[in-house]
Amino acid sequence: MTAQGEAVSGSLGTRRSITTILGQIFGPLLQIFYFVIGSAVILGAIVIILALLLRGTRDDIDLLQGTLIILPQVIVDSLVRGFLYAMIALGYTMVYGVLEFINFAHGEIFMVGAFVSAGFGLVLANSGALETFNPFAFVVIAVLLGAAVSGTLAVSIERVAYRPMRNSPRLVLLISTIGMSLLLQDLVRIIATMTPLGFNARVQTPNLGSALTLAQIPLGERTINVIIDSRSLIFILASIVMLIFLNYLVNVTRMGKAIRAVAQDMPTASLMGINVNNIIALTFLIGGALGGAAGVLFGIRVQAINPYVGFLPGVKAFTAAVLGGIGNITGAMVGGIVLGFLEAFVASYLSLFTAGQFAGANYADIAAFSILIIILIFKPEGLLGEATTQKV
Amino acid sequence: MGVLLQLDTVHTYYGQIHALKGMSITVNEGEVVTLIGSNGAGKSTTLRTISGLLRPRQGQVTFKGARIDKIPPHEIVKLGIAQSPEGRRIFPRLTVLENLEMGAYIHPSGTPEYRNDLERVFNLFPRLRERYKQKGGTLSGGEQQMLAIGRALMTRPSVLLLDEPSMGLAPVLVEQIFDIVKEINAQGTTVLLVEQNAHMALAIAHRGYVIQTGQIVLEDDARALSKNEMVQKAYLGIE
């Protein structure tokens, strides 16, 4: 018993085992993976069953065939939306976890990231280097640049607009975040319209390669092409890399543990020698950097942005954070994925099943916000949220 | 045996509420000093003022001869003052080991000193060694108290501030905790102990103060205090 105990503290004191660290990094990602598979299977099954039930209601096309043909594309779209919301939701959830208010300016932090990608593309295009620029290097540099700009911006906003009000009622802070959000929108609008970027900015990129055909599945006289376009692939891969990095930072490093300690009990964390203000700034830096990186990837994917692109993804990412359990980092990622899947499926299949009566894309927003309402009514702690109890 | 920690006519407020009204106490090196008093007398406020969580409006707090009442809490820990706060306040969603690591936040981790500290805590509280992987919030009340004290020890303090370690614990556990406090003191750490359980506190303390409505009303060595008529009546339940 004692010998075993000694062994425990011996190994703990030096380096903890590689498997523990890997578990801490990849555990949350595994959870995301389960939710990806789960959402895809469940929603896929639902649309197939619906297609079977509704078969024959339309004479022009075979519903089942139509459903199956677009399914791979819908899943790719779901993943892109899912990771987009996951990355933005992290910013909301981290700030909420530490300070217990919703930073509504976070959508604009994301938008600024998108404008950084547009600016970077423009600068390269003007210098004539864009066409020959290495696409991989372009994405990496743009993401790092966007993360740096948005991260710095988020930290400055906290310093200027939130910290002085930290001890005021939460409502005051909330209003301050909304004010910041409007301010940033218009600041970016002014800057964009004064520069060659313009209000509707184009995100120019080098040739990022063509679409990748992953598989071709024969289906009767037609085939299902499983295609992923390069920009979506970049989005998904880059998001995964960043989520791995975030999990390492929060779960393994001392700094990450300090963030969690501050989130759980601020005064006690300061008794441990943790500088609470620095940790709060750090949360804004990480959340802002992730939001900015997501903005860059978003810009690269959609290629046309304006100063108001941050609002809707921001509010939806907030929904995702609530869906996963606000304050819970893994929850934010999972919530983003689930929301992305639901939205993409509604957007793609609603018009197919209703013969175009409900043109889907707009109804996707309704689906997203209905989820917010349902979650708030029936499970306010979210999918992964835990009711915390502290023994006295 | 020099003076380690001193409060000199300290006045602390919660907003408009005057909580400490000219507190003066002295803690010498190597001592166990106890502050006894009823609910709301200002015991926890005193500790929170020493740790820097509250700023005194008047008066001075000195530690090793230097003023510390204008220093933020995270700097005060580094000087060698650790607190095990009222209600334990362990981090419920960090594991036992992570809680202890947070205690050692101000020291580089992975060093032999860090391993020594960890070993010392695990030897004082073998229960924590058994449960090192468990989330803090899943521990029993007694185990949480052990973790709170262990976490404070990980800061390598010269003075340990203990806020009601006996609160809500079964008598057997209280005795165990107090034995360990004695042991910690024997290992060279000065202890300032705040307690409602005056009987237990006076049993292990060298000296004691009685605090009422934010002021010291009595000060003596522990044995004399436990024989004092007023203390016996008010805090020991002896008529």
Is residue B226 over pLDDT 70? yes
From residue B111, alpha-carbon distances to A13, B95, B106 in Å are 8, 21, 13
pLDDT tens, position by position, B52-71:
999 999 999 999 999 999 99
Q: Specify which residues B160 forms β-bridges with.
A: B82, B191
Q: Is residue A4 part of a domain?
A: no
pLDDT in tens, B122-169: 999 999 999 999 999 999 999 999 999 999 999 999 999 999 999 889
Quote the pLDDT of residue A4.
Answer: 44
pLDDT exceeds cutoff 70 at B112: yes
Determine the residue of chain A that is closest to B52 in CA distance: A271
| pLDDT given at position B97 | 93
B179 in Cβ contact with B211 (< 8 Å): no
Q: How far apart are CA A185 and CA A199, in angstroms?
A: 11
Question: Does A390 contact chain B (CB < 8 Å)?
Answer: yes
At B239 the pLDDT is 67
Residue among B35, B161, B181, B32 nearest B86 (CA):
B161
CATH at residue A183: 1.10.3470
3-state secondary structure of A81: helix
What was the pLDDT predicted at A389? 38
Q: What pLDDT, on a 0 to 100 scale, did the predictor assign at position A304?
A: 94
pLDDT at residue number A132: 87
Are the C-beta atoms of residues B141 and B169 closer than 8 Å to each other? yes
ipTM: 0.92
- Is B170 among the domain residues? yes
Tens of pLDDT, residue by residue, chain A (392 residues): 344 444 454 445 445 678 888 888 888 889 899 999 999 999 999 999 998 888 877 777 788 888 888 898 899 999 999 999 999 999 999 999 888 889 999 999 999 999 999 999 999 999 988 888 899 999 999 999 999 999 999 999 999 999 999 888 889 999 999 999 999 999 999 999 999 999 999 999 898 888 888 888 887 777 788 888 899 999 999 999 988 989 899 888 999 999 999 999 999 999 999 999 999 999 999 999 999 999 999 999 999 999 999 999 999 999 999 999 888 888 999 999 999 999 999 988 888 888 777 776 778 888 889 988 998 898 888 888 765 433 33
A276 touches chain B (CB under 8 A): yes
Confidence of residue B233 (pLDDT cuts 50, 70, 90): confident
Note the Cα A102 to chain centre separation in Å: 16
Q: Kindly report, residue by residue over B210-224, the tens digit of the pLDDT.
A: 999 999 999 999 999
Tell me the C-alpha to C-alpha distance, in Å, between residue A18 and each of A24, A115, A176, B94, B98.
10, 40, 44, 19, 17
Quickly count: other Cβ atoms within 10 Å of residue A254's Cβ. Answer: 15
Answer whether B74 sits within 8 Å of A9, measured CB to CB.
no
**Cα within 13 Å of Cα(A250), Cβ side:** 25
Domain assignment present for residue A387? The answer is: no
The structural domain count of chain A equals 1
- B18 DSSP β-pair partners: B13
**If you measure CA to CA, which chain A residue comes closest to B108?**
A254
Tell me the nearest-neighbour CA distance from B86 into chain A, angstroms.
Answer: 9
What are the angstrom distances between the C-alpha of A138 and each of A84, A118, A141, A211, A238? 20, 12, 5, 18, 13
| Domain region containing B181 | 3-234
The DSSP 8-state label assigned to residue B178 in this structure reads H
What is the domain count for chain B? 1
Chain B hits for A14, CB-CB cut-off 8 Å, are: 110, 115
Q: What pLDDT was estimated at residue A101? A: 87
Residue B5, SS3 per DSSP: strand
Residue B239 belongs to a domain: no
In a domain, A55, yes or no: yes
Domain residues for A311?
A: 19-378
Residue B126 belongs to a domain with what CATH number? 3.40.50.300
B106 domain-assigned: yes
- Kindly report the average pLDDT of chain B as a whole number: 93
**A11 within domain boundaries:** no
Which of A271, A275, A388 should one mutate to test binding to chain B, selecting the residue with the greatest count of B CBs within 10 A?
Answer: A271
Cα(A182)–Cα(A263) distance, integer angstroms = 28
User: Which one has a higher pLDDT value, A351 or B94?
Assistant: B94
A190 burial class (0-12, 13-18, 19+ CB within 10 angstroms)?
A: exposed
Question: Considering CB atoms only, which of B51, B109, B168 is closest to A271?
Answer: B51
Model confidence at B84: pLDDT above 80: yes
Q: Is the pLDDT of residue B22 over 80?
A: yes
Angle between helices A18-54 and A230-247 (to 10 degrees): 140
**Domain annotation covers residue A151:** yes
